[in-house]
Structure 1
C-alpha cells in the first residue's frame, strides 16, 4: 500500500506517534459483542422469515437468527430492557418488532440490524401481528386490541407509530390475533372463552361478531385461504369449524346487500358452528397452535411435549410425535408448509422438524441450569461448556451451533479443559469423576476417580496432555493421573481449605494451586522434592492464571484484589485493587446503593491475552474488566447484559416499586394466577441451585468463567444469559477510499493509464461495476500480480476470489455474460498469488470464506475438466493426423517402389 497517497484534513502525526501507546491498547480493547451461544430459546414466540430459510428466536432480551440453509446463527446486536415476550417480522422482511414483558418495544430495520425507534405500549403484550399486506400492526393490550400503522423503515420520523384504532369487547385478557387474507378483518381470542371478529375500517351495519361455545380458554383462531371458514381451538382440545349460515327466507336481507358483500365477505357473513372436533389427548392441554392456510394443515403443541398435525376441515390426523419432555411453548410453520419450529421454555429447546421426511432440520438445546465453565480449542474454532445439569457441550464459534453433547456426568460440571495437542476434552464434576472425551469418535474413553469419593472443583491439563490434575473441595487434596494408563500418579496435600483453581505452567512441569486457605502453592510435580513455599494473600483465593510464557502468575482473592507473582523469583510484582472496578448493579434486596456496596464483589475467573500484556477478569457482577498488566490499570469495562429481568443490572432501584412490604419484584405473586397449574408451588423452600422453579426465581447477572481464544481475535464468557462471544470489531478495518468523494469511473480509468494497478483495482471494487473491475484486473502486469495480491486489503479479499472464480466458471459468472475468460493462465496466477499472500488469514477464517472457497474450487475443477476434454480431443485429432500421415507415407513409398521396378 506504499504507492497510495491520500489527502486528509486531520493531523495524522498526532494519531501515529511512535511513542503513543494508545493505538496498541485500543486495538486490544476493540472487542464487540459477536454472538450468543449456549442459549437458543427462552420464551415468547418463534417466527420464520418470509422465505422460510431462517427462524427468529427470542433469547432473553435478545433475538437470535438461525439460518437453516447455510447452517449458521447470529444474534442481533440490540437488547430490550427485559426478557422478550413477543416478536413479529413484516411480510417483506424489513421491519422487526420485539416487545418485552413490560410492553416496551423496539422497532428494528431487520436487514441492517439497526434500531429505528423505541416505543412503550404501556401494558404487557401477548401477541404482535403484521397484516398480510404489511400496512398495519395489531397488538394485544390487556382486554383490548390496538392497531397501528406500520412505520416506514426508510424514513427518519419523530413519532413513527400512529394509532389507527382501539378495539374493545372482550371481558378478559386477549391471547391471540389472526388477520384475514385480505387484511380487512382480524379475529381475536381471549381468556373469556370467546373469539371476536373485528373489521379494520368501519363497515356500515357491522357489529363485532362473537364466537362462543368453548368451555375453556380459546388459544387461537384461524381463517382459511378463501375466508369461507374459521377454526377456533380451545385449551381443552376442542376445535370448532365455523361456516356461513344458510340464508333464512324471513331474514329480511334484500338484494342490495350483494354489493356490500363483495366488498367485505368476512364481515357480512352470518357465522355458525358447522362441526365440533376433539383431539382426545387425555391429561393434556393445548398450549400453542399454528395453521398453514394453503395446505389446510393445523399444527398443535400439547403440554406433554407432544405435537400433532391435522388436515382440515376433515380433521384427519396426519402425524403425532413426542419431541420433548416438557410442554411446547411456541410453534411456527414456514411459508411452504414443510418445516415446523418448536420452542420449549423450561428445557430451552429449539427444534425444526420436516414433517414429510420425518427428520430434524435443527435440534438445539442449551444448558438446563447455569453454565459454569468453558474452554477453547487450540485453533479457536470450538468452545466447550459445562453446566449444573451435568452436561458437556461443544459449540462451533462460527455457526453458533452445538454439535455434540456428553451427558455421562451425574452432577454439576465444575471445570473443563482441552488438551493442547490432540482432540481430547477433560471435564471435572462434583460427582467425583474426571472424564476424558474423544472428539473424533465422540466417546468417553477414560474415567478418573480418587481412592475415596470427593467432589472435584478444579482441573488442569499438562501441556503435553499426558497428565491431568484435579482439586477437591472436601479433602483439600490435589489428585494427578496418567491419561495413557488411567492410573493415579500422586496425591498432593498441604492446603487447608477447598482447592478452588489449578493451572499448569505452559512451558514447564510446574503446577499452581489456589485455595480458600488464602494461599497459592506452586508445585514442582515431577521433582523428588516436595518443598513448597506458599504465596500468602489477604483473603480466600478464587482463581489463578499463568501468563503464556509461564513466567508470571496472577491470582484473584475474595477481597477483590488481583496479585501478580514472578514465578522464578517467588516475589509479588503487582497488585490491582479491582473491587471498585467490578462493583456495579444493585440487587432488589440490597440495602445499600450500587456505588457503596462492593461486598462480595470479586473476580472468580482470569484469562491472559495471547501476548500476556492484558488480563481479562470476570466475576459475580454484570461487568467483565480488561486490565493492562504492566501498568496495572483498567483498559475497558464490558457489560455482559442490560436485561432488567436479571437481578443486579440496575444501578438505581425504582422507588415506585419499593413499598412497606419490600420490593415488589421479590413478592411471590404466583398465588394470584388464574390457572391452577400456575398457582401450584411444589418446590422446596430456600432452594437456590438445581431447580429453576425456586421461590427466589430472579436470576442474577454474573460471569462464572472467561477465556481468551488462542488466536487472540475473540474471547468468551459463561454468563447467566449463556455463552457470550466477543470478537474484534472488523468494521474498523481501514479502507482509504471510503473517504474519497471523487471516486468515479473516469478516475479509475485514469489510474489504469497511470499503471497504478492496486489503486485502480480497489477503486473499481468500491464502485462495484464489473466492467471496470475487469478492466483494472486485466490491466495488471503479469509480473506485478504477486505484489498487488500481497498488498490487497482483506476487506476486498472475498470479492476478489469470487471475481476470479467467476471468470473460470462461466455458470457462475453473472456479470461476465456467461462466457469463459480466455486468460486462463492469468487467472490461475491470480488465485495462486491470493492464496499464497493471505493463506494464514483465510485458514483462520475458513468457515467464513467457505462459500468463496467452494466457488474457487468449482471454477478450478471446471477449468481442469474443460482443459482435459480439449486435450483428449486434441490427442485423438493428433493420433488421426499421425495415422493419416503414416498411411500417406506408406502409399507414397509403395508408389515409388512400383515406379522403380517399372
Structure 2
C-alpha cells in the first residue's frame, strides 16, 4: 500500500480572522482559516485549501488584479507571495518593523504595479514583481520566467498619521490612494509627486475613521467612522462666499453631507463600498448589517445574520454578492442582496473536535465536538451539508454502521443517539438506568446492537437498535472504560479500560464470557484489524502492542514515546522531550488492507507505522502555527519576563479602545465560555480515520479537519521505465494496434492523459484479450483507472465492458489477495454504485415521462393534418380548405372524425 500521503484540504473551519477577498471574476472567495487560506468556488460548489502555511494566523490577504499573484501576511508581519493558480510559494519576506507592529491594511493598485501596506501608523508602497505577459515583460524575449530575482522592492514610505492605519483604498487610475486611521482622520496621498498636489488631511470625525473610498468618478470621497458617521467630501469653495470671487486656491476638500447610523449599544465594525453601483455595506458589533445606496443614503436592506459582531465584509466585482465573516463563531456567509438569498452559508465548530469517522462509501466525514454539534462534511466539495444539534453537551464519540446510512454518537449529556443520514433526523435515543457521561461507542457490523462505555462507570451498556431497549450491562472491568471496538466479522467486542486490561467479550454467545489481556499501563485506545485477526492497543506509557484476537497472545509491539512526543507549551517547566503529557497515542486506526496503522495523540505529530515490521514509515506535522500551544520544540528566552512568560500576561488593559480593555471572559476558561478565551488552544489530534478506499486519511485537530491524500501533487511517478518507452513510441504502438503493449507502456510512464487515450482506443472485441494477458503487476493500476473513468467519464458502456471483463477473468486473483486489492475494489464498488443510482434515476424519470405521454389524449390524425394545412383558406399546396372541411365532416357523420383517442 502506498504511504506517500500529502496535505490536500482543510475542513471544519471556514473563517478565523482577517479580511475576505474575491477573485477578479467574482466566482471564488478567499478566506483565511488560521495560518492557511481556503478558496471557495461559489459557482462549482467546491473548496480547497492552499498547501502553504504561515507560522502565525493570517492577518491580511490580497489578490493581484490579474489573478496570478496572491499576497498573504500573518500577524507577525511575515509575507508569502504565491502563484494563485499553481498553488506554489514564490517568495517569503518580512514586513515587520522595529516595534513589531502588525499589518493592519493591504491593497494592490488597480494597475497591479504596486501594493500598499499599513504597518501601525506607517504606510509603505512596494513594487509588485512582474509576471509573464504583464506590461513590464511584453516584448522582452530574453526574459526567462518573468519574475524578478528580488521581487520585494520598497517604492516609497509615508509617515504622517499619529495612530494605526485601518484601511487603504486606491483610486481607479492608481495615482492616488486614501488611508483611514484611528487618529480620527483620513488622508489623501499620491503615488508619485504630482504638480499642484499636496497631501490632504480629511478631519472632522469624533471617533476612529474605519474606511475611506473614492467614488466612481473620483469627484467624491466617502469616510466612515466607528460611531456610524458617514461623511461625503467634495472639492468645493468656502460656503457663503460669492462664487465669482473664488479662486482655485480657495477650493479644497470639504464636507458636503453628513449621515448617521443609529444603532443602540453597537459600534460599526466593518464596511465596504462598491463604487460602480454606489452600494455601501456596513456591519455592526451586534451582528446586524445594513445596505445603503449613495449618495441618497436610502436604506435597501437591514438584516441580522450573526449572534456576534461581523468582522469583515467584501463585495465582488459585479456588486451582487456580499461576503461576511464572523470570527467568534467561525461563520462565513455569501449573500445575494438582489434576490435576498444565500449563495454560501457555512459555520465550523467553535469548540475543539473530539472524534470523527468516515461513511462506508467514503464520500462523507462526520465530526463531533465539545460544542454539542455533529457535522457531516462532503469530501468532494469540502462543505458541511448538515448539522445535528440534538445533543445538549459535548459529543465524545461517533461511529457508522457498516450496513446502512446510520450514524451513532455518544455524548456527555448521558445519551447515545442514532441518526438517519438519508432523511437527516435522529430516530433513536438510548439512555442508561442512571445518569452517565458516555465517552466511547461501538456498533456491530450488522447494525443491530450498539455498545457504549463511560468514564463514570465500569460497566459496558448494550442496547438494541430496533427497540431502543437496554439489553445488558457487561461487568468485569475495575476501572473506567476508555475505548470500545467490535470485530468486523461481528464475533466479539473488544474493550479497553484504565484498569490496564483489554477484554474480549463474546456478546452473541449463549454464555457471555470475557478474556482479559493484561498490559503494563492504562489503555487509551483499541483498534481491530479489518480481517478480525488482530487488535492494536495503545497505552499511557506510549507503547503500541499487537495481539492475536483468536489466541489472545501478543504478536508484536513498538515504543512510540519518542515518535509522538513533541511540542512545548508556554506554561511547561519541562522541555518537549521530557514532557509526559505528549508521550502516548490517544487514537489509532488500521488502514483498509490492515498493513499500516495510523496513530495520533496530544502532540503535533501523526505517526504512520507498518504493522508487520512495527517500523515508523512517516511522521506528519499537524501544524506549525505559533498561535497554538505545543507547536514549538524550544521556547524563546527573550519572551520570559520577571512576571513569567509573556504569553500568559494579560495585556488587554493596555489597549487603546475601551471595549478592548474590558474583560469579557472568565479567567483561565478554555471552553464552554461564550466570550473570548484568555488561554491559547493547544495542538492535539483527538481522532484519525482512514478512508474506505485507502487513498486518504483525515485527522481531527485543533485547527479543524485535516485531509491527507495520495493523489495530491503526484504528477510523474514512472514504474519499470526504460529508454525505449516514451509517449511518442507509445502512440506509435497504439497506431500499430498493439493494444496490450501500448497499455503497458502507458502504465510504465504513468501519464494519465496517455493512459486514458490508450484505454479508450482499445476496441470492444479486444477488451477481454487485453485483460486476460495483462501482467498481474498492472492489475491494480488498471482497476484504479477503470474506477476513475467510471466515476467521471460519460463512456458508460465502455467502462461496464471493462469492469465485466476484469471481474470475470481476474475475480479469482482479487479474492485470493483481498488485502492487497481491498481499497481498489472499494473504489470500483463505489463507482458502480454511483452509476447504478444515476441509471435508476434516469430510468424512473423516463418511465414517468412515458406514462404521462401515453395518458395524454390526441386529436384524430387526419384532423390534425388538415388543421396544419389550413392557411388563408388554402393549404401550402394550394388545396381548397373547404374541400378538406367537407371531407372531415363526412367522416364525422360516419362516427369517425373528431374523435379523441389515447396514444395507446
For Structure 1 versus Structure 2, the TM-score category normalised by the shorter chain is 0.7 to 0.9
Matches within 5 A, 1:464-479: 464-479=446-461
Give, in whole Å, the separation in 1 of the partners of 2:173 and 2:146. 26
607, 621, 641: which one aligns with 2:603: 621
Greater mean deviation of Cα atoms: 187-196 or 590-599: 590-599
CA–CA distance in structure 2, aligned partners of residues 720 and 749 of structure 1? 50
Q: Say which SS state the counterpart of residue 393 (structure 2) adopts.
A: coil
Task: State the match for 1:66 in structure 2.
Answer: 40
Q: 2:115 aligns with which of 123, 131, 137?
A: 137
Residue 54 of structure 1: aligned partner: 28
Alignment counterpart, residue 499 of structure 1, candidates 454, 458, 481: 481
Is 1:151 the counterpart of 2:129 in the alignment? yes
Deviation at residue 567 of structure 1 after TM alignment: 2.0
Measured after TM superposition, the shift of residue 221 of structure 1 is: 0.9
Aligned to 1:9: none
Distance in 1 between the 2:563 and 2:486 partners? 28
- 1:685–1:694 contact (8 Å) kept in structure 2: no
1:472 Cα deviation from its structure 2 partner: 1.5
Change (3 A) 1:275 1:589: same
What's the counterpart of residue 264 of structure 2? 282
* Residue 210, structure 1, aligned to residue 205, structure 2: no
Give RMSD over aligned pairs.
Answer: 3.6
Q: Please, which of 504, 516, 523 is the counterpart of residue 498 of structure 2?
A: 516
Other-structure match for 1:545: 527
Within 5 Å, give how 1:7-18 maps onto structure 2: none
Structure 1 contact 147–165 (Cα < 8 Å) conserved: yes
**Aligned-partner Cα distance in 1 for 2:147–2:666:** 53
Q: Distance in 1 between matches of 2:79 and 2:594?
A: 43
Task: Report the equivalent of 2:622.
Answer: 640
After superposing the two structures, state which structure 1 stretch, 315-324 or 269-278, moved more.
269-278
Q: Which residue of the other structure, out of 538, 543, 561, is the alignment partner of 1:556?
A: 538
Q: Which residue of 2 aligns with 1:821?
A: none
Q: Cα 1:146–1:778, aligned 2, differ >3 Å: closer, same or farther?
A: closer
In 1: Cα distance, 2:756 partner to 2:41 partner: 33
Instruction: Name 1:609's counterpart in structure 2.
Output: 591
Q: Aligned with 2:562: secondary structure?
A: helix
Who is 1:383 aligned against? 365
Within-5 A mapping of 1:630-669 = 630-669=612-651
Offset at residue 526 of structure 1 (A): 2.4
Deviations 1:20-44 (A, max 9, x none): xxxx5xx2x2111111111111000
Inter-partner Cα distance in structure 1 for 2:105 and 2:23: 17
Match of 1:412 among 379, 387, 394: 394
Map of 1:222 onto structure 2: 213
Q: Report how many residues are paired.
A: 796
Q: Which residue of 1 aligns with 2:177?
A: 186
Deviations 1:114-133 (A, max 9, x none): 00000100141112111111
Give the match's secondary structure for 2:653: helix
Offset at residue 57 of structure 1 (A) = 0.6
Q: Alpha carbons of 1:593 and 1:227: their partners in 2 closer, same or farther (altered >3 Å)?
A: same
Residue 634 to residue 483, structure 1, CA distance change in 2 (3 Å): same
Offset of 1:797 from its aligned partner?
A: 7.9
Give the secondary-structure state (helix, strand or coil) at the position aligned to 1:126: strand
Structure 2, unaligned runs of 5 or more: 132-144, 808-824, 851-860, 866-904
How many Å separate the matches in 2 of 1:391 and 1:210? 50
Instruction: From the superposition, tell whether residues 481 and 333 of structure 1 become closer, same or farther in structure 2 (CA, over 3 Å).
Output: same
Q: Following TM superposition, by how much is the alpha carbon of 1:370 offset from its aligned partner in structure 2, in angstroms?
A: 0.5
Q: CA–CA distance in 2 between the matches of 1:128 and 1:543?
A: 47
**Secondary structure class of the residue paired with 2:216:** coil
The correspondence for 2:157, drawn from 160, 166, 181, is 166
Q: Does the 8 A contact of 1:376 with 1:384 survive in 2?
A: yes
User: Could you tell me how far apart the structure 2 residues matched to 1:224 and 1:710 are?
Assistant: 55
TM-score, normalised with respect to structure 2: 0.82
Change in CA separation of 1:194 and 1:712 when aligned onto 2, cut-off 3 Å: same
2:892 is matched with which residue?
none
Instruction: Write out per-residue CA displacement over residues 31-64 of structure 1, whole angstroms, 9 at most, x where no aligned residue.
Output: 1111111111100011111111111110110111
- Helix, strand or coil: the match of 1:347? coil
Structure 1 range deviating more: 493-502 or 404-413: 493-502
Counterpart-to-counterpart distance in 1, 2:828 and 2:68: 34
- 1:687 aligns to what? 669
Who is 1:427 aligned against? 409
1:757 Cα deviation from its structure 2 partner: 5.7
Q: Which residue of 2 aligns with 1:110?
A: 84
1:835-859 alpha-carbon deviations (Å, 9 max, x no partner): 7679978757869999xx99xx9xx
Matches within 5 A, 1:568-583: 568-583=550-565
Paired position in structure 2 for 1:253: 248
Whether contact under 8 Å (2:311, 2:326) holds in the other structure is yes
Is this contact kept in 2: 1:579–1:598, CA < 8 A?
A: no
User: Structure 2: how far apart are the matches of 1:136 and 1:797?
Assistant: 49
Please say if residues 229 and 242 of structure 1, whose CA atoms lie closer than 8 Å, have aligned partners that are also in contact. Answer: yes
Q: Judge conservation of contact 2:272–2:315 (CA < 8 Å) in 1.
A: yes
The offset of 1:98, in angstroms, is 0.8
Gaps of 5+ in 1: 1-23, 255-267, 806-826, 866-875, 881-902
Q: Structure 1 stretch 70-79 or stretch 494-503: which is displaced more? A: 494-503
Alignment of 1:96 with 2:70, yes or no, is: yes
Shift of 1:289: 0.9
Native 8 Å contact 1:552 1:565 kept in 2: yes
| 2:379 equivalent among 394, 397, 417 | 397
- Do the aligned residues in 1 keep the contact of 2:783 with 2:828 (CA within 8 Å)? no
Cα deviation code 1:312-369 (max 9, x no counterpart): 0000000111111111111111111111111110100111111111111111111121
Residue of structure 1 in register with 2:813 after alignment: none
Give the counterpart of 1:201 among 192, 196, 207: 192
Post-superposition Cα deviations, 1:547-583, rounded to whole Å, max 9, x if no partner, equal: 1122222221111112222222222222321111101
Q: Distance in 1 between matches of 2:431 and 2:287?
A: 37
**Equivalent position to 1:597, from 554, 562, 579:** 579
What is the CA–CA distance in structure 1 between the aligned matches of 2:414 and 2:796, rounded to whole Å? 58
Distance 1:105 1:512, change over 3 A: same
Tell me: CA distance 1:81–1:787, structure 2 relative to 1, closer, same or farther (3 Å). farther
Q: Is the 8 A contact 2:698 2:707 kept in 1?
A: yes
Which SS does the other structure have where 1:534 is aligned?
strand
**Contact 1:786/1:830 (CA < 8 Å) preserved in 2?**
no
CA positional deviation for 1:750: 5.1
Structure 1 pair 31–133 and aligned structure 2 pair: CA distance change class (3 A): same
TM superposition shift of 1:142 = 0.8
The equivalent residue for 1:319 is: 301
* Alignment deviations for residues 245-277 of structure 1 (CA, whole Å, 9 cap, x no partner): 0385555439xxxxxxxxxxxxx9721111000
Question: How far did residue 226 of structure 1 move?
Answer: 0.8
Q: Is the 8 A contact 2:324 2:334 kept in 1?
A: yes
Query: Where does residue 436 of structure 1 map in the other structure?
Result: 418
CA shift for structure 1 position 454? 0.9
1:332-347 paired onto structure 2 within 5 Å: 332-347=314-329
Residue 723, structure 1, aligned to residue 723, structure 2: no
| Structure 1 contact 716–723 (Cα < 8 Å) conserved | yes
- Report if the CA contact (8 A) 1:476-1:496 is conserved: yes
User: Do the aligned residues in 1 keep the contact of 2:566 with 2:582 (CA within 8 Å)?
Assistant: no
Rate the CA distance shift 1:829–1:357 in 2: closer, same or farther, 3 A: closer
2 CA distance for matches of 1:200 and 1:848? 61
Contact residue 686 and residue 694 of structure 1 kept, 8 A: no
1:15-94 alignment runs, 5 A limit: 27=2, 29-94=3-68
CA distance in 2, matches of 1:452, 1:651: 45
Distance 1:621 1:779, change over 3 A: closer
Distance (Å, rounded) in 2 between the aligned partners of 1:547 and 1:833: 34
Cα 1:385/1:798, change in 2 over 3 Å = closer
Give deviations 1:623-669, integer Å, cap 9, x for gaps: 01111122222111111111111111112222222233322122221
1:678 is aligned to 2:678: no
- CA–CA separation in structure 2 for the residues paired with 1:328 and 1:529: 61
In structure 2, do the counterparts of structure 1 residues 657 and 845 end up closer, same or farther at CA, with 3 Å as the change threshold?
A: farther
Q: Could you say if the C-alpha distance between residues 426 and 669 of structure 1 is closer, same or farther in structure 2, counting changes exceeding 3 Å?
A: same
The residue that corresponds to 1:811 in the other structure is none
- TM-score, normalisation: structure 1: 0.82
Distance in 2 between residues matched to 1:477 and 1:804, nearest whole Å? 52
